[in-house]
Structure 1
Amino acid sequence: MATRVVDAAGIEHAKAQRGARIVSLVPSLTELLFALKLDAQIVGRTGFCVHPHDKVRNVPKVGGTKAVKIDAVRALQPTHLLVNIDENERDTVDRLRAFVPHVVVTHPLAPHDNFALYALLGAIFDREDEARELSLQLRSQLDACASRAWPQQNVLYAIWREPWMTVARDTYIAAMLHLVNWQTLPDLQGGERGAARYPSFDLDAAWIRNADRVLLSSEPYRFTQRHAEALSRHARFQGKRIELIDGEMVSWYGSRAIDGIAYLRDYASR
């Protein structure tokens, strides 16, 4: 009997047949596919799928994570499409589902969810051994993080400006930061009292006074030292610790989470 696994949408997937053709619409997942040694089966990716640099350059682009070129995907004749609930628009995925036989939906919300993600793709694409090795590496990093008592700090993690935007506490980013006992501000859960998972905020917001650190991410908005210096002159932020942080290391799941946790441990130790 064929092995069947269930994705984040509750859809069961049988093991892929030999010669599966995979299009990934998620940067983290594209990198994970290469880590699972599926190079020969990756036939399409978005322009934001930039890792690993030396390998993705040979994979055709099909637009962005949201601005997907439907006809470009169709021309590649994929058997499998990898998507994410946060990063890809449902209407676009539904259009692609009309001609892609297998759409695999993902939605990791915490570093520990990567165990299930590795197992999911490993089972579908016959890479169980590679998935187990990634799980061992992830477990090692999580254990190293948990072995230390981290002082609690409140952090404002900025992902965008004009409008300024941050992350709710039920996002993957917030869960990563929680590994080093950093609590994101404001204290919101996505959907709570109508709150967004990536809420906008005003620089004069009263809760900013409670932030111990202000982290300016390198993605999706590329904050620079110039932005940090300008923010430090704002009345609400004077005297606060304002730093740049590698957004890929904090927000990318999949295989990147392994190096991301190590990066965060080192970053929080400064």
Structure 2
Amino acid sequence: MGRSVEINFPPRRVISLVPSITELLIDMGVDVVGRTKFCIHPEDKATSIPIVGGTKNFRFEVIDDLKPDLIVGNKEENYKEGITRLSERYPVWMSDITQLNEGLEMIGMLAEVTNMEAEGDLIRTQLVAKLNGLQNSRSGSVLYMIWKKPWMAAGRDTYVHHFLEHLGYRNVVQAARYPELSESDIADLSPDHILLSSEPYPFQEGDREALQAVFPTSSIELVDGEPYSWYGSRLLRVDP
């Protein structure tokens, strides 16, 4: 989930290396002084924050100039070598989230770390209400695609998997993490629905049409990947 680190409490200068957490921290009122180029929400506030690189390639000299007293990262989204290097110089708080309840718990933990308990509690309460409204709102078997060449899909032990099942879908991929699939694999899985995510691979209408020709019995749809994979406050702004 998250690990305890020694920090100056409360931290005054926070760098976030995780797009969904950047938005959450800003929504809680935390002073975020650095972000990755993928941290684009909320647009009216995030775009004015200095960029410290990508999620897997940090600009260490920029981070040093910003003099953070807390850096927030994520095990899946950030690269181990970069996090290890940062941990040698700064307090780094890491999350590891694969389930809905872990995302909710993370909000409370970060709110405590940043001294924003009231703000965090409010966001968590709103998210629980939103999730309750979405529960079992969908049905049928589903294949959630995240990459092309090779085809890759969200399997078990992922936040996407648990969100899909919360919605009422049955994920046809039983392998862990993000397995590669062939077209024959997809045919054997025979999903009622194929969802083509906008991230990390930006599927387009042409991709949807090409797959529809190969799998005419499946309902194939382009979807915004953010509500399916961004734990934090993003779900309060967008619907799956």
TM exceeding 0.5? yes
Matched, 1:203 2:183: yes
Task: Quote the offset at 1:18 in angstroms.
Answer: 4.7
Aligned to 1:238: 216
> Structure 2: which amino acid aligns with 1:83?
G
Partner of residue 77, structure 1: 67
- Corresponding residue for residue 125 of structure 2: 136
Picking from 172, 182, 191, the partner of 2:169 is 182
**Residue from 90, 115, 120 that aligns with 2:109:** 120
The residue that corresponds to 1:158 in the other structure is: 145
More moved, 15-24 vs 81-90: 15-24
Does the residue aligned with 1:243 lie in a helix, a strand or coil?
strand
1:96 and 1:166 map into 2 onto residues whose CA distance is: 31
Residue 157 to residue 208, structure 1, CA distance change in 2 (3 Å): farther
Aligned match of 1:30: 22
- SS of the aligned residue for 1:233 comes to helix
1:49-71 CA distance string (max 9 Å, x none): 00011111211101100011122
Aligned to 1:194: none
Partner in structure 2 of residue 110 of structure 1:
99
Give SS of 1:34's match: helix
Identity of aligned residues (%): 34
| Structure 1 equivalent of residue 232 of structure 2 | 254
Deviations 1:236-263 (A, max 9, x none): x123211011101111111113345xx2
CA distance, structure 2, for counterparts of residue 30 and residue 47 of structure 1 = 11
CA distance in 2, matches of 1:206, 1:200: 10
Residue 217 in structure 1 maps to residue 197 in structure 2: yes
Distance 1:43 1:247 in 2: 26
> AA paired with 1:169?
R
**Per-residue deviation at 1:152?**
4.1
Matching residue's letter, 1:154: S
Q: Which residue of 2 aligns with 1:20?
A: 12
Is 2:164 the counterpart of 1:172? Answer: no
Q: Which runs of 5+ in 1 are unaligned?
A: 1-6, 191-196, 265-270
Counterpart residue number, 2:45: 55
Structure 1 residues 116, 182: closer, same or farther in 2, change over 3 A? same
TM-score by length of structure 2 reads: 0.93
Distance 2:103 2:20 in 1: 11
How many residues end up aligned between the 2 structures?
240
1:187-227, CA deviations, whole angstroms, 9 ceiling, x for partnerless residues? 12x2xxxxxx1111111216544201010001111111111
Q: Distance in 2 between matches of 1:85 and 1:183?
A: 26
Aligned CA distance change for structure 1 residues 206 and 59 (closer, same or farther; 3 Å):
closer
Tell me how far apart the structure 1 counterparts of residues 186 and 158 of structure 2 sit (CA, whole Å).
23
Letter in 2 for 1:160: W
| Structure 2 counterpart SS, 1:32 | helix
Q: Deviations over 1:145-202 (max 9, x none)?
A: 34xx5564211111110111111121001111111221222212x2xxxxxx111111
Mapping of residues 257-268 of structure 1, within 5 Å: 257-259=235-237, 263-264=239-240
Task: Measure, in 2, the Cα distance between the counterparts of 1:16 and 1:140.
Answer: 33
CA-to-aligned-CA distance 1:88-118 (integer Å, 9 cap, x gap): 1111100111111x11011221222222111
In structure 2, the gaps of 5 or more residues are: none
> Is residue 11–residue 70 contact of structure 2 (8 Å, CA) maintained in 1?
no
Provide the rounded CA distance (Å) in 1 between the counterparts of 2:219 and 2:4: 47
One-letter amino acid matched to 2:41? H
Letter in 2 for 1:184: N
